[in-house]
Structure 1
Amino acid sequence: MSREIGSLSRRDVLKAGGIAGLTATAGCIDLGGGGGGGAYTIGMVDSRTGSLSAFGQRNQRGMELALADVNDVQIGGRDLDIIVEDSQSQQQPGVSAAQKLVNQDGVPFVIGAVGSGVTLAIYQSVIQGTDVVQLSQNSTSPQLTDFPGLLRMSPTGRTQSTALAEIIAEDGHDSVAVTWINNDYGSGIKDAFVDAYEGEVVYNASHDQGQASYSSVVSQMANTDAGAWLFITYQPEFTTMAQEAYSSGVDDQAQYYGADSVRGPEVLDNTPEGSLEDMKIVAPSAALDQENYQSFASRFEEEYGSAPTAWSAYAYDCVVTAALSIRAADDFTGSALSEVVRDVTRPSGEEAFSFEAASDILADGSASDVDYQGVSGPIDFDENGDPVAYLQIFNVADHAYESVGFVTGE
């Protein structure tokens, strides 16, 4: 299924985008100006369905806000179109989605994907060896750092793993039981944690995605007598584990810790009151103190009735970075875009906190003259395609997430 939206006002685009988000979950949507003709068209692979669909929904909303902002200004008099394809939160559908975008639609720039394993599969199967630019909106696995041609907006999980190791140690735990989802995201975060943690990892085992029960994982963790349990998995899988730990009476045996993908309102809604008390989670964060983020958050709440997450901010910044790259490039080709995509976010240029301000700088200058400061914070892609890391620590109290601090790092 596809949906085209023409050259509408920002609010009209947002309203139409919201409708598309409800009706086009199995196909693709074509958001933005005019379709075909005078528009620049890029692609996006997102988790419209599957285990990571909660992230996909937030991405789509951030994308819609960014697309509206870009098309209010336009790129040299032309609109931006984004063709969105569903990865279904799995590698093979994600690869198929990217193949469609690159081989059939001919896009030179792909935003994608959410899960690190999906992102890597797309890069290795579709993007690597071509001129197409790939910029992941949500992938955090440290393994992505090994592929300098693959860019990402969310920070590497290596910093997250180090923060988790330090927090668990500071809480007085000299042993930990770790379960991790059996993919590139899970193994990457786990490996970095094991390297950083100075205590004893008494349980270190993977689990598969999408299982109906994880009671064996819970019982094996309980048998270790570890005072800390670390969950590196996705929201549906963690929700099931937390439910089963509660029902078997072992939920108070250890303090819970989690990587970024276990946090979400759906988890709280589907776990018993008190079952997650004192759990600590480290997750990527937007720059909450920046004025452009606060404006973004206010608009997000106005349009969607809920506060944004860092994932929405990352998706917003992916779209703006793509649009600025198009504005700065000599041609609308992958090779031309790849030459400037890093430069438009680097600190050597003049700081700009919106697409409009950055576009004004580019009107009389080059990519190196602008330093786009995202709503997620400074981006500053390094030689490995990684951005600056900015993380937030959450604690569960009275069955709600409370922010208790921030962590920064390279």
Structure 2
Amino acid sequence: MRALFMTGVVSVLATGCSLTVAGGLDECATSADCESDQVCVQQLCLPLPAGCLADPYGSTEADAIRMGALFPLHTSPEPGASLDESDVQGLNAALLALDEVNQRTLNGKKIALFFCDTGSSKDVAEKQARWLVDDKKVAAILTAGSSQTLAAADVTIPAGVLTMSYSASSPELTVKPDTNGGSVGLLWRTSPSDAIQGSVIANLLRTRSDLFGGTIPSKVGILYVEDQYGQGLSNIISEQLNTGPTRVANRTFLYQRGGDVKVVLDSLDMTYDPDVTVLIGFADDATAILKEASTRTNLKRENGHRWFFSDSVKDSTVLADSLAASQARAFYGTAPAQGTGQAFSTFSARFNDKYKKDPAGYAYTSNAYDAMYLLALSASYSLSTTNAVTGVKMAEALTRVSSGSSSTNTQLTNSNFTYLAAELAANRPINVEGASGPLDFDSNGEARAPVELWQVGDSGFVTIASNLEPPQ
């Protein structure tokens, strides 16, 4: 983890402080006067917020455009917590875009991206967001996850700071007030709402017998993590299964992130005995659940039980555990689809060249890449119109990236960035297609996208279909 943090980061060298004031706090002029785990705030050396880096990725120039990033690289803020591989690769995707943008500059400026690891905690994310807004004076924050994004938005929206998430999928983001008294919303996401994914999952459960051993399941269990993401997606799936001409019996079961899953699996196994269980959770929990479920009579694959996975289970961490992988093998899951145009091809090739990994093996990597590019485009627009970068002006720019005709559709690639920035600066409408697909934002700051169906293979995740839509 330390190696990851050190990549692209300028280390702060402790130079000592000139004075020590009451309470043991050192005076400083800049953060270089403080210890490596401190920052200079109002001429005092104060502790750096847990999980945050003092120096940014990207530019360290004094006039750099300041943005923040809140990524859950670890599954918990506690020492010794395991890495969340999907969000590690999400960060890598965002940094790839940042490097490409900074090679070109935005009206003569570059971007400084101040980074914090939330440890998958919404409380930590809220504190870190406040530090980024109040102390680092960022114009925008790139976030991950529904609960952490909503917590950060409680800080950013009142401050007029733009929030862009690459993986928050809760329907709650759709209805959250975000204009702060203005005319444009400050909460955006490149990930589609789970209203789409949930409807697709429910439709697959009641129409695709080929995914479930040739038989439509008569009883579906929905096992979900207790947060906004899990609550929202489980509610949508259950509601969809309970309505319409073809209804499927279902029951929901919740578990706590990182908690003991034995009790909930006992209940799922002995009191319900489902044909299929939809697992809505993150990779670390999914691994523990699959391993523990292998000891439960009614949840064993050899006894006919099948799993169906949500997007966050598409993570190599699950396959790294031999028992979990054996329990998941050949079963299916869904996630937002990757793009199919040149933007995805370019991104995929460059990501593979730099990190030696296939970005399609993780959910939301292309969404993170697009999110960073959109932030850069919107910052360039803000500079060209006001000679400053503000969250409100950046949001105004985002309302214009989906306003061109289909004939002006432009791939969001590194080679097209300068052209797209110039078009926005000239107030000409553009229509952008990113690595994650068409970025057709609606009035709620959301880009609708199709859903992919994937299967757990012997050595990775195999895309079966990439254009699934909810039934009309």
TM-score by length of 2: 0.77
Structure 1 vs Structure 2 CA RMSD = 2.7
Q: Per-residue displacement from partner, 1:243-280 (whole Å, max 9, x unpaired)?
A: 01113343224110111111211101114253123321
Amino acid of the structure 1 residue aligned with 2:205: I
- Given the alignment, which residue of 63, 66, 86 partners 2:94? 63
C-alpha distance in structure 1 between counterparts of 2:397 and 2:2, whole Å: 30
Change (3 A) 1:240 1:168: same
Determine the structure 2 residue equivalent to 1:165.
202
Q: Per-residue displacement from partner, 1:75-129 (whole Å, max 9, x unpaired)?
A: 11211111111211111110011101111111111111x22111111112x0233
Q: Per-residue displacement from partner, 1:365-406 (whole Å, max 9, x unpaired)?
A: 535522232111111111111112122101224464221112
Change (3 A) 1:2 1:257: closer
Match of 2:192, SS state, is coil
Change (3 A) 1:247 1:340: same
Determine the structure 2 residue equivalent to 1:264.
315
Determine the structure 1 residue equivalent to 2:57.
31
Determine the structure 1 residue equivalent to 2:111.
80
C-alpha distance in structure 1 between counterparts of 2:427 and 2:238, whole Å: 40
C-alpha distance in structure 1 between counterparts of 2:145 and 2:10, whole Å: 25
Amino acid of the structure 2 residue aligned with 1:154: S
Unaligned regions of 5+ residues in structure 2, if any? 12-35, 38-49, 77-82, 179-184, 210-215
Determine the structure 1 residue equivalent to 2:352.
301
User: How far did 1:299 drift?
Assistant: 1.2
Instruction: Look at both structures and tell me which one has the larger radius of gyration over its CA atoms.
Output: 2
User: How far did 1:360 drift?
Assistant: 2.1
Amino acid of the structure 2 residue aligned with 1:173: P
Amino acid of the structure 2 residue aligned with 1:77: G
Match of 2:451, SS state, is strand
- Given the alignment, which residue of 419, 435, 444 partners 1:360? 419
Residue 406 (structure 1) aligned with residue 440 (structure 2): no
Unaligned regions of 5+ residues in structure 1, if any? 4-13
Amino acid of the structure 1 residue aligned with 2:263: S
Residue 311 (structure 1) aligned with residue 364 (structure 2): yes
Determine the structure 2 residue equivalent to 1:373.
433
C-alpha distance in structure 1 between counterparts of 2:378 and 2:427, whole Å: 8
- Given the alignment, which residue of 148, 151, 162 partners 1:118? 148
Determine the structure 2 residue equivalent to 1:196.
240
After superposing the two structures, state which structure 1 stretch, 393-402 or 136-145, moved more. Answer: 393-402
The 8 Å contact of residues 324 and 344 in structure 1, kept in 2 or not, is answered as no
C-alpha distance in structure 2 between counterparts of 1:16 and 1:233, whole Å: 29
- Given the alignment, which residue of 256, 268, 272 partners 1:221? 268
Determine the structure 1 residue equivalent to 2:14.
none
C-alpha distance in structure 2 between counterparts of 1:343 and 1:161, whole Å: 29
C-alpha distance in structure 1 between counterparts of 2:427 and 2:378, whole Å: 8
C-alpha distance in structure 2 between counterparts of 1:168 and 1:363, whole Å: 47
C-alpha distance in structure 1 between counterparts of 2:233 and 2:289, whole Å: 19
TM-score by length of 1: 0.88
Q: Write out aligned runs for 1:96-175 (5 A).
A: 96-112=127-143, 114-124=144-154, 126-147=155-176, 149=185, 150-170=187-207, 171=209, 172-175=216-219
Determine the structure 1 residue equivalent to 2:400.
343
Q: Per-residue displacement from partner, 1:299-351 (whole Å, max 9, x unpaired)?
A: 11111111113422111111110111111122312222222122124444833
Identity between Structure 1 and Structure 2 (%): 22
Amino acid of the structure 1 residue aligned with 2:156: I
Amino acid of the structure 2 residue aligned with 1:41: R
